[in-house]
Homo-oligomer: A and B are copies of this chain.
Amino acid sequence: MTIPKQSLRRKEITTVAAKLFKKHSFDRTTVRMIAKDAGIKSGSLFHHYKDKEEILYAVIEQGLSGALDTLKKTIKETNSAEENLKAAILRQLKTLHGKDKDAHIVSIIEWSSLDEASRQQLIVIRDEYEAHWQYIIDAAISEGLLQGQPRLQRLFVLGSLNWTIHWYKPKHGVQIEDTADEFYRFITKSG
């Protein structure tokens, strides 16, 4: 049987899989590749997961949960709407480009590789994540930092940030903080 949903070993393998899914995509990553990097034989994977798709599910859950936790903390740690927005932008960029990036990037890119049932389960976390962002955006609009339709503002802001996965390359010299600052000025610049 498979059953053990929260073992340490499973988490390790999930992290290995996240790295591969991000590098090669889900479809082009074979179970043999995952097994090799995890140091086991391919058949042994199915002791931990019932099928390959469950590995993707585990990766995406890890990515979404991690990002949600970070976002929650960020909101708690700040006081004004401006601080909130600034901090959330920086956190989002760090989530996408910091050391735990793999799982979260996979959760964005491979969402459509999940089957409908898995998506229905994970959408709960995703919705909560978006709701927290919406809260930040709404507050920013109330303070006059942003103007316009709340939902569209959130989609524009998050879209720009998420799109950085397609072009941002960390370099020594250019810090992610600089990009975050420039982006904050990009979306506000009213005062």
Q: Interface size on A (CB < 8 Å)?
A: 30
Q: Is the CB of B190 within 8 A of A149?
A: no
Interface residues of A in 158-175 (CB under 8 A from B): 158-164, 166-167
* With known contacts A159-B163, A160-B159, A148–B112 Cβ distance under 8 A: no
Nearest residue, chain B, Cβ from A151: B167
Whether A99 sits at the interface, judged by CB under 8 Å, is no
Q: Is the CB of A183 within 8 A of B156?
A: yes
Q: B25, B155, B162: which contacts A112 (Cβ < 8 A)?
A: B25
Q: How far is the CB of A122 from chain B (nearest CB, A)?
A: 15
The residue among A147, A159, A166, A167 with the most chain B CB atoms within 10 A of its own CB is A159
Q: Is the CB of A189 within 8 A of B156?
A: no
Give the 5 A-B CB pairs with smallest separation, nearest first.
A159-B163, A27-B27, A160-B160, A159-B160, A156-B160
Q: How far is the CB of A102 from chain B (nearest CB, A)?
A: 15
* A86 to B156 CA separation, bound complex (whole angstroms): 16
Whether A9 sits at the interface, judged by CB under 8 Å, is no
Q: Is the CB of A147 within 8 A of B185?
A: yes
Q: Is the CB of A189 within 8 A of B186?
A: no
Q: Is the CB of A182 within 8 A of B27?
A: no
Name 30 A/B residue pairs within 8 A (Cβ), A-sorted. Answer: A25-B27, A25-B112, A27-B27, A27-B28, A147-B189, A148-B185, A148-B186, A149-B182, A152-B179, A152-B182, A152-B183, A152-B186, A153-B186, A155-B163, A155-B164, A155-B167, A156-B160, A156-B186, A157-B160, A158-B163, A159-B159, A159-B160, A159-B161, A159-B162, A159-B164, A162-B163, A163-B163, A186-B187, A189-B190, A190-B190
